[in-house]
Amino acid sequence: MASNVYDVVIIGAGPSGIFAALELSKTPGLRIAILEKGRDIDNRHCPIREGSPECRHCKPCAILNGWGGAGAFSDGKLPLSPAVGGHLADILGEGQAVQLIEEVDALYCTFGAPDTVHGTYTDEIELLEKRAALAGLRFISVPIRHMGTERCVEIMRRMRDLLLERGVTLRVATPVAEILTSNGTVVGVRTAGGDMLTAEAVIVAPGREGASWLEATAHQLGLTLARNPVDLGVRVEIPASVMEPITDLVYESKFIYYSKAFDDKIRTFCMCPYGEVSTEFAGDVMTVNGHSFADHKTGNTNFALLVSKNFTEPFDDPIAYGKSIARLANLLSGGIMVQRLGDLESGRRSTHERLARSIVTPTLPSAVPGDLNLVLPYRYVADILEMLYALDEISPGVASRHTLLYGVEVKFYSNRLKLTRELETEVENLFACGDGAGVTRGLIQASAAGIVAARAILKRLHH
């Protein structure tokens, strides 16, 4: 069919796929198709986000899949430095990565991202770095633009509308079953519905949720993969006033700590000032996350504390390990577990009565009081406690007995494909970018990676 003949097919409508399409569609007449297994942005409805008391296990999950990817319902943080959020600086060099991030940031602004940038370097930030060092913490300061969850959705919608105006074909609810090759060169894709789409080039950008699909596809195509670590830990919730001296200064505070007991790396991640604790699904397991809105604020701040672990022989499946811990938490609580720090340290489970006496009101009402000591290995608990007390030295109140810990939070970083500087795989004209390819870990670098792949394809098509 003529309608199934394209110059470029993009698999995945997350930030990487969207920004690749934005770059490609600047060229008039280029035939571009985006295939997305989830729904369009206007039809992505999560029962929990709309007031349901429990998850209905929608397939695919509307939080993680659909136009805009998982980033559409994130709180929309754009770290404006290659120091965090991915490996683009390693692949492209520091200078080119910085230039791309600036370009992507400007594009987000044209679609409605706010003008305010948090965390530009000041004397106060320098003082915070020194205080952190005295507590055994390394503070990483990067400027951040915060869009907010509700604004992020609107920005993704505007990008979709522009691409449709430019003639880009969008096929939602269209999972891809197979990438087609001939003599080491990509020739198209086959959808789960049996449609064959031919293309001169294919961009694989399935996002983190599509990592297992991409891994299976890589094995089918004989592509080289390298394991990334798994980050496992808890989400911490405290009164917003405890962190205000830091969040008012930098908004997103990133601290790294190496534990005395095990020399493990622990880091803060996804700081959500005045935010809400939320849930998400990774396949068949529920994990915890957090959001901050642009116009709606709570009295709490939440952030993740994650322990990074690499595995060696004979074990070689960090994603399965992380899922097994999350599955245990689901088994014991029916979903997400919450515990007061004082109860964790005392070796007793939290109860509804004990939570009612806490000065911190949970923002995730569906979380079930329990005992994280029954879920997390001792090594993780010891690491997290050390990190909390180190943070308490620079922000008193973090290690209060009333502090709430939600479990578990797991970040499944995808296996990293072997790629060229242009993000081309070992199959000619097959490109991979974004979180699902193990290249990036967030909105800004995922978007930039899409542009890298698109520009490489444009050079070849023009030739």
DSSP β-ladder status, 137-140 and 254-258: antiparallel
Q: Return the domain boundaries, the chain.
A: 2-112+147-226+415-462, 123-143+229-412
In this predicted structure, what is the pLDDT of residue 115? 93
In this predicted structure, what is the pLDDT of residue 311? 78
Query: What does the pLDDT look like over 261-319, one tens digit per residue?
Result: 999 999 999 899 999 999 988 778 999 999 888 778 999 999 999 998 877 778 777 87
Tokens of 36: 């997305």
Query: What does the pLDDT look like over 108-144, one tens digit per residue?
Result: 999 999 999 887 778 898 999 999 999 999 998 888 8
Query: What does the pLDDT look like over 19-54, one tens digit per residue?
Result: 999 999 999 999 999 999 999 998 988 876 666 666
Query: What does the pLDDT look like over 330-339, one tens digit per residue?
Result: 999 999 999 9
pLDDT band at 413, cuts 50/70/90?
A: low
In this predicted structure, what is the pLDDT of residue 167? 97
pLDDT band at 172, cuts 50/70/90?
A: very high
In this predicted structure, what is the pLDDT of residue 1? 41
Mean pLDDT comparison of 65-74, 210-219, 425-434, highest-scoring range? 425-434
Query: What does the pLDDT look like over 90-106, one tens digit per residue?
Result: 999 999 999 999 999 99
Buried b / exposed e over 106-120, threshold 16 CB at 10 Å, is ebbeebebeeeebbe
Three-class SS of residue 374? helix
The mean pLDDT value for 233-245 works out to: 97
Superfamily of chain region 2-112+147-226+415-462: FAD/NAD(P)-binding domain (3.50.50.60)
Question: Does the CA dihedral 225-229-230-236 come out positive or negative?
Answer: negative
Long-range contact pairs involving 119-126 (C-beta distance under 8 Å, separation at least 24): 119/143, 119/144, 119/249, 119/250, 119/251, 119/252, 122/249, 124/249, 125/249, 125/250
pLDDT band at 438, cuts 50/70/90?
A: confident
| Alpha-carbon distances, residue 108 vs 70, 346, 357, 425, 441 (angstroms) | 16, 47, 43, 28, 17
In this predicted structure, what is the pLDDT of residue 2? 46
Long-range contact pairs involving 1-7 (C-beta distance under 8 Å, separation at least 24): 3/169, 4/195, 4/196, 4/197, 4/198, 5/31, 5/197, 5/198, 6/31, 6/32, 6/33, 6/169, 6/197, 6/198, 6/199, 6/200, 7/31, 7/32, 7/199, 7/200, 7/201, 7/461
In this predicted structure, what is the pLDDT of residue 414? 60
